[in-house]
Amino acid sequence: MSSARKALIFGISGQDGAYLAELLLREGYEVHGASRDAQVNSFRNLRKLGIKDLVTLHSVTLADFRSVLQILTRVEPQEVYNLAGQSSVGLSFAQPVETLESIAIGTLNLLETIRFTELPIRFYNACSTECFGETGATPATETSPFRPRSPYAVAKSTAFWEVANYRDSYNLFACSGILSNHDSPLRPERFVTQKIVASACRIATGVQQELTLGNVDISRDWGWAPEYAEAMYRMLQLPEPEDFVVATGHSYTLAEFAEAAFAAVGLDWQYHVRIDRELFRPSDIHESRANPDKALRMLGWKARCQMPEVVQQMVAAWQQQHPEAL
C-alpha cells in the first residue's frame, strides 16, 4: 500500500485541475481525478502536461449522490478539490439550469458525503470573484458582500455559502478560494482571453482577417493559472480552514488585454477588432477588483505574473503549439 497522501480532484480535465494535478504530483501525492466519463474523455490538458499516465482516473457524476459516495469511500483521499461544474460566465446565460445544478448540487453532494462518511477529508471549493459583482474602484475582500450578476456567479455564491454552512454546522475542514480570472495555454477558445490570443496570432500570419468582440471596456483581474493552483494547495495545508481571495491585485480592461496580445505579434489591435453588440451579455460587471492581502499574510502567496506577462506566455505557447501557422 502506498504511504503517500491521496488527493482527489473533481474537474481534473480542466485548466485548473491539470495544473493542480501537476503540482500535487511534484509534492509526492497519489493523485486521483474524477470526470463524468473517464472512458471517453481525452484528458487533453493532462496529456499536454505529460502527466495523464501518472494520475488514476475515475468516472463520477457529481449530481448523483450515490456516485459521489462510491468514489470517496473507494479512494479515501485526505484532500478533495472541487473544481468541477460549468465554468463559463458567458455560457451560463444560455445554460442557467445546467450551471446551477453542476456547481451548487455538485458541491452539496460532496459536502454531504464528507459529513455522512465522517472521513477526515480536507475540502477545497473553487469560488469566483464574479460573486462580488460590481466592485467599482474598491477592491473586494473576503468580507465584501456578494452581488452576483450572472447565473454562473449565482451558482458560485450558492456553493460558497454551502461550504460555509457545513464548516460551521458540522466542523468540516472546508474552505473556498475566491479566485479572480486566471488563464494559461490550457484555456479553450470559448474563453475570450484565449480567443483573443489565438486570433491575434492567426491574423498576424494572414490566416484570419478580423476578431469580433463584445464589450471591451469591462475591467478584470487576470492572473496566471499555475500560480493559482499553488494557492489552492496552500489553503488545505493550514491548521484551520479559511476562505481566501486569490488575485493579482491589479485590474485591466479587455481592451488592454487585446492591445497586449496584438502588440506581442507586432500589430495594433484597433485595426483588426470589430465590436459586435450582439456579444454583450444581458448583465455584466463593468469593473472587478480584488484584494489578495489575506492570502499573502496567511498563505505566503503572491501573484508573480500580471496581465502583460500572462499574455506574453499565452502568445508564446500558441506559437509553439502551431508552428505551421508561422
Report the catalytic residues: 128, 130, 152
Alpha helices in 34-127 (DSSP H): 44-48, 65-75, 89-94, 96-100, 106-117
**What is the SS3 assignment for 29?**
coil
Q: To the nearest 10°, report the CA torsion of 60, 65, 69, 75.
A: 20
Burial 273-291 (b: 16+ CB within 10 A, else e): beeeeeeeeeebbeebbbb
Give the H or E element holding residue 122: strand 122-128
Q: CB–CB of 123/174 below 8 Å?
A: yes
Exposure class string for 210-227: b at 16+ Cβ within 10 A, else e: ebebbbbebbbbbbbbbb
Q: Which helix (H) or strand (E) holds 201?
A: helix 192-204
DSSP readout, 141-163? -TTSPP---SHHHHHHHHHHHHH
- Show Cβ contacts of residue 160 under 8 Å, excluding neighbours closer than 6 positions: 125, 127, 131, 146, 176, 178, 243
